[in-house]
Amino acid sequence: MVNPAILTLKAKLKQISTNWLAIALAWILLHLTTPAASLSSDGLSLLALKVAITTDPTQFLAGWSESDSTPCHWARISCDRDRRVTSIFLPNRSFTGYIPSELDALLYLKRLSLSNNNLSKPIPVHLFNASSLLSVDLSCHSLSVPVPH
């Protein structure tokens, strides 16, 4: 016959180990999902540009991280006081790749300069629907599709 005190002790140990397992799992999930969820939508659009850049010889975009809450302190990115991206200034970086359609989600973008890189593929036509867009410099590329007037 098994001592009832031992059975009670085993039950308590099992409950404690289950609680610790739940706490550890919750901590892991919180820390694995928080960084990507914290970046603003403008930041996510810029990360799409980073992914679309297949060659970045000087590692210029290496500082663009999904663990940031905003892209406003990233090099050559300007924002307004509400932390919305208003300018992307990345000429002469020797990038290769393409312009992703996600840039059309930058609703407050006023200036875009990606000149003198080696970008190709069609220009996302919805990029030019932004009512705030004042200046676009995509000169010296192998882009296809004419730029709308």
Pair of tokens at residue 6: 């031992």
Do 90 and 56 contact (CB within 8 A), yes or no? no
Are 74 and 102 in contact by the 8 Å Cβ rule? The answer is: no
**Tens-digit pLDDT profile for the chain (149 aa)?**
666 666 676 666 666 655 554 455 445 555 554 444 589 999 999 999 999 999 999 999 999 999 999 999 999 999 999 999 999 999 999 999 999 999 999 999 999 999 999 999 888 888 877 778 999 999 987 766 555 55
Q: How many CA atoms lie within 13 A of 117 on its CB side?
A: 26
* DSSP line for 40-79: -HHHHHHHHHHHHEEE-TT-GGGG--TTSS-STTSTTEEE
Rg, C-alpha atoms of the chain: 24
